């Protein structure tokens, strides 16, 4: 045990790590005191010829054997699990076959997230590869002249990210699903200050809890319509973000972020790109000893300097179809937009509720426009797990099953119901109003594999004058996903 | 030796593996019994002062020295070569500088396939990266108003695949050659049952020996026209596959697979995607002690629910040109198709023959359509190697040279001749008939590098009324390829 | 120490390496002589009962303790730092926290370049992953009806390359920036001959110092217009290249290369692809003990067999805009082109000057066309570093700071001024003439992170009859980049 302690102490002094990391592991090996070992044989000879008395022999033999036993045990306790990055694999401890990380002299490896993670022991340099694959099938009932059943490769992403010289991180991610390759988060980040991180590149503007939560972790197959329509999504910009704890409020975590973004590309033409400023703040005070509350708000002021067109529209929370039941068409002569959202969630043991209200006002030549929407859902994890929370970013992470399938368990099962509303009609613009109810059943086989089933009932579509007025289908859809 | 045995026994109990894997390797190191070691010195002292007699000294010294010698030998014999995944690197033993795999505590590495392979020692988690690059040049003789000489990046693929939690595999592959990025096999597989694997995603329907064989391993630069025209290729679906041995028939291996697939995407429109069912079975009984026979058959029933168009066409087994000498144009008002193929091959030492007959019948408004085609080829590997066979999938793998170039050999050289026929004319559809003769020479420099030369003689094109009727060029084409 | 020597001797005999590499590291571990160890206890017993005299006890105890101490020291000295590939990370020694590489039995790892590098110990097999991300912003002053301010993801590349069987290298690189995915260098190389390397694939024709220098390393954000317009860039072809030293001329390095290339794809149509031959030679004699001179020339003869169109044009050395102030439009009925360039540079300590003159003559039906251009720039690295030179390829590499930011330094700062000229007007073609002055300030934070600021003054645009005649904006642009 002492060797392990020494190693922990020396851990961050890299030049020692090579010796130390190995020393722990080595202890498991050389077994100097087997029955047949020369030392034990010598002890026998010395006892037999009277050089050492029987009790000395026994004490020494026990010491030698104990040495071997200790080092064996030490080896067992020193398995590299201590090095496993458990951030995304919180379920690791729940299964006998842990993903393992090797603590090599100076370089550490981890396959525990399902992808590849390599890092120097001091963390100054690292490189990770991962991705996700989501496959969907959907069946549409009612209005068969509008929708067609089918399948879809919803997402097929490769991601690479790393750290150089301790303080600089980079990330690139590409999605190969769909007919075109699309670029996801791609940025450079400076994390050398304690008080905040600085990011520049193409990344999600910090707006809307549902929009910011990874598609690997969303409770339903598709995000609520309002959170996709009113969230700015990824744009090229510069952001600063911070997080911390308020000790005075017993464990309350908070986040705050602010960014300046370009409103998409101007294609090199004579028009200047519009600029936007977006900020978000969240707090997560504890709720008893089994839960917490999440509260947040976000604002975005967006200038449409020379680009005066925008289109707001949404699928019926099912992506296999490309039909949008609500759609404003092109909004013209815009000056600027002001968007805001308020968000809240309560997690208590296996139960949670979450909701958001989002709204956007557009200043234009002629009467201004105001649209809004929101959602509320409840989730119950039947197998007792709690939804995971990323306190540094103020968003949810994926549920991690206590018992993986194949490790004596049934994974985690989650039942959820969502009500979602969106109003895209105002003044002369009749984009339509929709209300949708979704019942979801999620099966988390292990931290990397999830199956989802959603039953969607489009409760109401009011879009007078459109072919989609009163088109209110029921939809059943399935997803199989791996993230690595 | 005993330590190694212990390790083998303990191999699948991962918590012990770190200690055990190391124990073997460690044995090579700590040399507790050098001449200068304290224990040996003590023995000398005890002998010299008469505490132990000379013979006891010698026995104990021998034991101590033997301990060191044994562990040295144990270390040498425990080199990680045993851990090298030799599946795709069958030629490894033929060269002095073997690609090496490191047996780290819990994580194993392999560069032997030319790409990167990382796995936990128990195989529960793995991650691989690889790809292929194929470059072609082609010259067309005769009919110079139809074809243009040129070069082409035929394939440029990156592939990533891995295993999570032992039973779940994933794979993604993307081809960057050509003007668009195209998605290749992308799926999630459950391999936790002994009797069969289950796959869902975008993958090749199991149909046609030639179509299923990797482009890294096909005997000719392009597959026979009939096997590309009548094979469904990759589609989104769900499949189950199994394989095994029939012990009663001395080593006979068999495979069977069945899948349900969506017929391509419906672009979200009102049309439902058609569905298809495809199955294939193969058997490979041995032929003496130097060969085997491959027999197989595949069926596919394909519904064209609301999609009523299909086009069958083929290049003249040369891909630099985009001209198709045979082409049905759009087939309309289809109801469903029934396709089948029978396949056979004999491998005996360096000689092999392989052939397939494929046919497709289309039910439609009006007279039904029947098209068919096939090929037969013979191959002689001049340097004596045999074609490799993947018994788990019932397909061929790449030839692996006995002696790599650069390791005292000339690689493997293969001479092959193929006759290929395709008939796309029936009823009112005059797609044309073609017969093509190809002579191929392949140079397998090592398991990763291959050069190919094909001389193609288009023997006959009958397509009355088309500009391509009687267009029967000769073609010379070259390929350089790397797979990793 | 002896163990380490043994290992060095045995280093290239791979079968021994596993044992040996570990032996060195293992020495750090098994600590057979702790105070509590059975051997030390035995020695005490034997001393206490008079079996061995006190002086023998002390000698033996010292031997046992020294054994442990020695092996500890041995472990410390055997850290794998000696294995770090420093080729591309020249700045490594300037920082306390070096990127580390693990010397595993047979496999070596390196994160020092910021990406992932894995290689077998003998170098016969390797695999690397890396890439680059460049983000730009630009503001255009004057002529606001022509340009629009904005941002751009300039480059977002993933690169994979490796070595198989010692003599064969491959490389693939893809750029995901922009609306389409574009393929960069993708080739297979044979490096088994001492006198030259052979490459086939899609790679940069060897022409123009500025064009050949990596975008990670160019002194200004965009290359001089003439070097992009007159350089052939990447094409599919076959090349041979060589380099060496002229000992008679004290350290003079030289390079020579020749290649045959296809002129782009013919899309499979009836036109043959044109072919081109391109060669380049450089020499780099030393200049005192702190500098060197680079001299080079390149020629290219290009046939336009059946493709008779070409367009020459250039952005104003700023890429956020897509406006080209000079543009020949389509040049038709071309027969062939003859292009050449001469290049020179002087580096002396932190100072350097570099310049090129490039010209192209086009033979066509009607009067032939002659265009030309060039640039000259001076650079001063304020922090004292010298520009790095790749003597094997005759091009410049990125400046490497002596002191990274975060390691007690301010990185490297470089000030540079460039004059660039381009003349695309001749005979009936009035493509225009432009002269541009650029002032650049570069901050090399560390070998992986660079920020750039360019002030561009378009001095003159003469393009009579065009809307862009006399359009001479000033431009300010910024870049943040990571390469890994």
Compare all CA atoms of chain A with the CA of C41 and give the residue at the minimum distance.
Answer: A60
Cβ-defined contacts of B9-12 (< 8 Å, 24+): B11/B121, B11/B122, B12/B122
Instruction: Give the pLDDT confidence score for residue A74 in this predicted structure.
Output: 34
**Nearest-angstrom CA–CA distance, C315 and B228:** 45
- Going by DSSP bridges, is the β-strand pair A286-287/B388-390 parallel, antiparallel, or unpaired? unpaired
C371 touches chain A (CB under 8 A): no
Longest CA pairwise span in chain B (Å): 111
Please list the residues that pair with A137 across neighbouring strands: A151, A478
Instruction: Give the pLDDT confidence score for residue C270 in this predicted structure.
Output: 67
The domain limits of chain B are 2-78, 124-483
C80 in Cβ contact with C59 (< 8 Å): no
Instruction: Say yes or no to pLDDT of B74 above 90.
Output: no
Average confidence score pLDDT of chain B: 82
Instruction: Say yes or no to pLDDT of C32 above 60.
Output: no
User: Whose CA is closest to C28, among B30, A338, A482?
Assistant: B30
Size (chain C), residues: 484
Instruction: Say yes or no to pLDDT of C91 above 60.
Output: no
The pair phi, psi for residue C222, each rounded to 5°, is: -120, 150
Residue among C115, C116, C148 whose CB faces A270 most closely: C148
Average pLDDT, stretch B9-27?
30
Higher pLDDT, C46 or A159: A159
Residue among B103, B116, B151 whose CB faces C127 most closely: B116
User: Whose CA is closest to C415, among C381, C388, C461?
Assistant: C381
Instruction: Give the pLDDT confidence score for residue B139 in this predicted structure.
Output: 95
Tell me if C37 and A63 make a contact (CB, 8 A cut-off). Answer: yes
The Cα of C83 is separated from the nearest Cα of chain B by a number of Å equal to: 16
A273 in Cβ contact with A307 (< 8 Å): yes
Average pLDDT, stretch B195-200?
96
Residue among B26, B45, B80 whose CB faces C106 most closely: B80
C106 touches chain B (CB under 8 A): yes
Q: What are the tens digits of pLDDT across the range C207-257?
A: 999 999 999 999 999 999 999 999 999 999 999 999 998 766 556 789 999
Q: In which band, very low, low, confident or very high, does the pLDDT at B289 lie, cut at 50, 70 and 90?
A: confident
Contacts of C313 (CB under 8 A, 6+ apart): C229, C324, C326, C327, C328, C424, C431
Instruction: Say yes or no to pLDDT of C178 above 60.
Output: yes
A37 touches chain B (CB under 8 A): yes
Instruction: Give the pLDDT confidence score for residue A105 in this predicted structure.
Output: 44
C32 touches chain A (CB under 8 A): yes
Compare all CA atoms of chain C with the CA of A4 and give the residue at the minimum distance.
Answer: C29
Compute CA B93 distance to the chain's CA centroid, rounded to the nearest angstrom: 19
Taking CA atoms, C133 is separated from A170, B159, C176, in Å, by 8, 22, 10
What is residue C394's DSSP assignment?
Answer: T
**Which portions of chain A are predicted below pLDDT 50?**
1-36, 68-105, 266
The pair phi, psi for residue B149, each rounded to 5°, is: -65, 155
Q: Which two tokens stand for residue B272?
A: 């439902």
Tell me if A160 and C29 make a contact (CB, 8 A cut-off). Answer: no
Q: Which residues 434-473 in chain C show a CB within 8 A of chain A?
A: 445-446, 448-449
Q: Which two tokens stand for residue B110?
A: 């392999």
Contacts of B93 (CB under 8 A, 6+ apart): none
Tell me if B45 and C30 make a contact (CB, 8 A cut-off). Answer: no
**Nearest-angstrom CA–CA distance, C183 and C107:** 30
**Nearest-angstrom CA–CA distance, A29 and C29:** 10
Residue for token pair 């809240």: A344
In chain C, residues with a C-beta closer than 8 Å to the C-beta of A129 are 116, 129
Q: In which band, very low, low, confident or very high, does the pLDDT at C5 lie, cut at 50, 70 and 90?
A: very low
Residues B317, B320, B326, B331, CA torsion sign:
positive
Average pLDDT, stretch B235-241?
96
Higher pLDDT, A359 or C39: A359
Tell me if C60 and B72 make a contact (CB, 8 A cut-off). Answer: no
Taking CA atoms, C6 is separated from B31, B32, B77, C20, C92, in Å, by 14, 17, 18, 8, 28
The pair phi, psi for residue B463, each rounded to 5°, is: -145, 70
Weakest mean pLDDT among A154-163, B62-71, C105-114, C152-161 = B62-71
Map residue A407 onto helix, strand or coil: coil
**Nearest-angstrom CA–CA distance, A114 and B161:** 10
Instruction: Give the pLDDT confidence score for residue A65 in this predicted structure.
Output: 63
Instruction: Give the pLDDT confidence score for residue C27 in this predicted structure.
Output: 32
Residue among C45, C112, C147 whose CB faces A125 most closely: C112
Tell me if C100 and A106 make a contact (CB, 8 A cut-off). Answer: yes
SS3 helix, strand, coil % of chain B, rounded to 5?
Answer: 15, 50, 35
Residue range C124-483 in CATH 2.40.160.10:
yes
CA torsion B21→B23→B27→B30, rounded to 10°? Answer: 120
Q: How many CA atoms lie within 13 A of A100 on its CB side?
A: 28
A294 in Cβ contact with A394 (< 8 Å): yes
Instruction: Give the pLDDT confidence score for residue C383 in this predicted structure.
Output: 97
**Nearest-angstrom CA–CA distance, B217 and B379:** 13
Tell me if A23 and C29 make a contact (CB, 8 A cut-off). Answer: yes
SS3 helix, strand, coil % of chain A, rounded to 5?
Answer: 15, 50, 35
Q: Which two tokens stand for residue A54?
A: 């029987």
Strands (E), B142-284: 150-164, 168-175, 182-183, 186-190, 197-204, 234-246, 252-262, 275-284
A407 touches chain C (CB under 8 A): no
Weakest mean pLDDT among A46-55, A285-294, C120-129, C473-482 = A46-55
Q: Which two tokens stand for residue B418?
A: 């193929």
Instruction: Give the pLDDT confidence score for residue C395 in this predicted structure.
Output: 97
Average pLDDT, stretch B147-153?
91
The Cα of A30 is separated from the nearest Cα of chain B by a number of Å equal to: 6
Tell me if C14 and B133 make a contact (CB, 8 A cut-off). Answer: no
Residue for token pair 């054994």: C67
The pair phi, psi for residue A197, each rounded to 5°, is: -105, 145
Compare all CA atoms of chain C with the CA of B481 and give the residue at the minimum distance.
Answer: C188
Those chains having 3 or more beta-carbon pairs within 8 angstroms of chain B are A, C
**Nearest-angstrom CA–CA distance, A72 and B3:** 13
Higher pLDDT, B402 or B102: B402
Residue among A149, A156, A158 whose CB faces B272 most closely: A149
Report the 10 Å Cβ neighbour count for C179.
Answer: 10
């Amino acid at each position: 045990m002492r060797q392990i302690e020494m190693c922990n102490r020396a851990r961050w002094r890299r030049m020692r790590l090579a010796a130390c990391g190995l020393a722990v592991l080595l202890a498991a090996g050389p077994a100097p005191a087997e029955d047949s070992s020369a030392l034990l044989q010598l002890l026998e000879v010395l006892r037999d010829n009277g050089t050492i008395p029987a009790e000395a022999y026994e004490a020494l033999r026990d010491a030698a054997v104990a040495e071997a036993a200790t080092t064996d045990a030490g080896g067992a306790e020193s398995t590299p699990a201590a090095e496993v990055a458990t951030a995304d694999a919180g379920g690791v401890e729940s299964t006998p076959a842990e993903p393992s990380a090797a603590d090599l002299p100076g370089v550490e490896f981890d396959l525990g997230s399902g992808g590849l993670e390599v890092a120097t022991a001091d963390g100054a340099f690292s490189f990770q590869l991962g991705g996700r694959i989501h496959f969907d099938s959907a069946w549409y009932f009612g209005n068969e002249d509008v929708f067609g059943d089918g399948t879809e490769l919803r997402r097929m992403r490769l991601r690479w990210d790393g750290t150089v010289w301790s303080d600089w991180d980079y990330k690139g991610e590409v999605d190969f699903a769909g007919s075109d390759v699309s670029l996801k988060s791609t940025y450079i980040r400076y994390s050398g200050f304690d008080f905040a991180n600085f990011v520049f590149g193409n990344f999600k503007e910090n707006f809307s809890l549902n929009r910011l939560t990874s598609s690997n972790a969303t409770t339903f197959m598709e995000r609520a319509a309002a959170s996709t329509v009113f969230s700015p999504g990824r744009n090229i910009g510069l952001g600063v973000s911070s997080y911390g704890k308020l000790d005075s409020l017993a464990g309350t975590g908070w986040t705050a972020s602010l960014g300046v973004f370009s409103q998409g590309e101007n294609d090199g033409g004579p028009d200047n790109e519009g600029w936007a400023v977006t900020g978000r703040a969240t707090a997560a005070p504890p709720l008893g000893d089994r839960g917490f509350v999440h509260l947040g708000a976000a604002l975005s002021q967006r200038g449409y300097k020379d680009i005066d067109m925008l289109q707001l529209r949404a699928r019926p929370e099912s992506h296999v179809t490309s039909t949008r039941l609500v759609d404003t068409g092109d909004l013209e002569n815009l000056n600027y937009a002001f968007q805001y959202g308020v968000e809240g969630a309560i997690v208590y043991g296996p139960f949670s509720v979450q909701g958001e209200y989002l709204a956007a006002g557009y200043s234009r030549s002629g009467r201004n426009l105001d649209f809004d929407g929101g959602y509320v859902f409840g989730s119950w994890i039947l197998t007792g797990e709690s939804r995971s929370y990323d306190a540094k970013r103020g968003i949810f992470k994926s549920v991690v099953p206590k018992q993986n399938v194949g490790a004596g368990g049934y994974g985690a099962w989650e039942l959820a119901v969502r009500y979602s509303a969106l109003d895209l009609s105002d003044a002369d613009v009749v984009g339509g109003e929709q209300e949708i109810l979704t019942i979801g059943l999620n099966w988390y086989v292990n931290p990397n594999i999830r199956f989802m089933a959603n039953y969607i009932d489009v409760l109401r579509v009011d879009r007078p004058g459109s072919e989609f007025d009163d088109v209110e289908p029921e939809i059943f859809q399935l997803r199989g996903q791996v993230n690595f």
